[in-house]
Structure 1
Amino acid sequence: MCSAQRAEGRAPCQSGSQSAMEGKRLVAATFTPLTDEGEINLSVIGPYVDYLTKKQGVKSIFVNGTTGEGMSLSVDERKMLAREWVEKARGKMDEVIVHIGCVSLKESQELARHAEEIGADSIALITPFFYKPTTADVLRKILLQVASVVPAMPIYYYHLPQVTGVNLSVADIVEGIEEFIPSFSGVKFSGVDLMDFGQCVRHSKDNWSLLYGVDEQLLAALALGADGGVGSTYNYVGGHFNQLISAFNEGNLTQARKIQFKLQELLSHAIKLGFNLGVNKQLMTDVSGLRLGPPRLPVTPCPQSVAKSVLQKYQSVFPEC
Structure 2
Amino acid sequence: MTSTPTPPTPRALCAMITPFTPTGALDLPAAQRLAHHLVTNGCDGVVLSGTTGESPTTTDEEKAALIRAVREAVGPGPSIVAGVGTPDTRHTTRLARAAQEAGADGLLAVTPYYSRPPQDAIEAHFREIAGATDLPVTLYDIPARTGTRIEPDTILRLSEHPRITAVKDCSYDFLTTQKILARTDLAYYAGCDEHVLALYAVGATGYISTVANAVPAHFRAVLDAFDAGRTTTAARLQQQAVPLIEAMMANGLPGAVTAKALLSTLGLPAGPPRPPLRPADRRATDELRSAYEALADRAA
Q: What's the TM-score once normalised by structure 1's chain length?
A: 0.85
Counterpart in 2 of 1:29? 15
Q: Give distance in 2, aligned partners of 1:281 and 1:233.
A: 11
2:126 corresponds in structure 1 to: 143
The answer on 1:113 being equivalent to 2:97 is: yes
Number of residues of Structure 1 aligned to a counterpart in Structure 2: 294
Secondary structure of the structure 2 residue equivalent to 1:172: helix
1:123-134 equivalences under 5 Å are 123-134=107-118
Q: Which residue of 2 aligns with 1:203?
A: 183
1-side partners of 2:92 and 2:248: how far apart? 33
Once the two structures are TM-superposed, the CA of residue 273 in structure 1 deviates from its matched residue by 5.1
Q: Deviation digits for residues 98-155 of structure 1, max 9, x if unmatched?
A: 01111221111111111111221111111111211222x32111011112221x2211
Partner of 2:24: 38
2:63: which partner in 1?
A: 78
Does the aligned pair in 1 maintain the 2:47–2:208 contact within 8 Å? yes
- Identical aligned pairs, as a percentage? 26
Match status 1:282 vs 2:249: no
Is residue 100 of structure 1 aligned with residue 87 of structure 2?
no
Report the RMSD for the aligned CA atoms in angstroms: 2.0
> Unaligned regions of 5+ residues in structure 1, if any?
7-24
Does residue 173 of the first structure (1) align with residue 154 of the second (2)? yes
Decide which of 290, 294, 297 is 1:312's aligned counterpart: 290
Q: Is the 8 A contact 1:244 1:256 kept in 2?
A: yes
Deviates more, 1:62-71 or 1:266-275: 266-275
- Determine the structure 2 residue equivalent to 1:52: 38
Tell me the alpha carbon deviations over residues 186-206 of structure 1, each in whole angstroms, 9 at most, x when there is no partner.
11112211112112212222x
SS in 2 for 1:65: coil
| Offset of residue 250 of structure 1 | 2.7
In the alignment, structure 2 segments of 5+ residues that lack a partner are none
Once the two structures are TM-superposed, the CA of residue 163 in structure 1 deviates from its matched residue by 0.7
Change (3 A) 1:154 1:272: closer
The whole-number CA distance in structure 2 between the counterparts of 1:241 and 1:141 is 35
CA contact (8 A) 1:3 1:227 kept: no
Distance 1:238 1:258 in 2: 16
Offset at 1:216? 1.3
One-letter code aligned to 2:34: Y
Question: For the residues of structure 2 that align with 1:274 and 1:127, how far apart are their CA atoms?
Answer: 23
CA 279–119 in structure 1, closer or farther in 2 if over 3 Å, else same: closer
In 1, Cα distance between equivalents of 2:26 and 2:194: 30
2: distance between equivalents of 1:2 and 1:247?
26
Q: Is the Cα–Cα contact under 8 Å of residues 111 and 150 in structure 2 kept in the other structure?
A: no
On the 8 A contact 1:158/1:188 being kept in 2, the answer is yes
Q: Give the AA of the match of 1:161.
A: P
SS of the residue 1:176 aligns to: helix
Once the two structures are overlaid, the 10-residue window that deviates more, 102-111 or 74-83, is 74-83
Distance 1:273 1:234, change over 3 A: closer
Instruction: Report if the CA contact (8 A) 1:191-1:214 is conserved.
Output: no
Query: Match of 2:197?
Result: 219
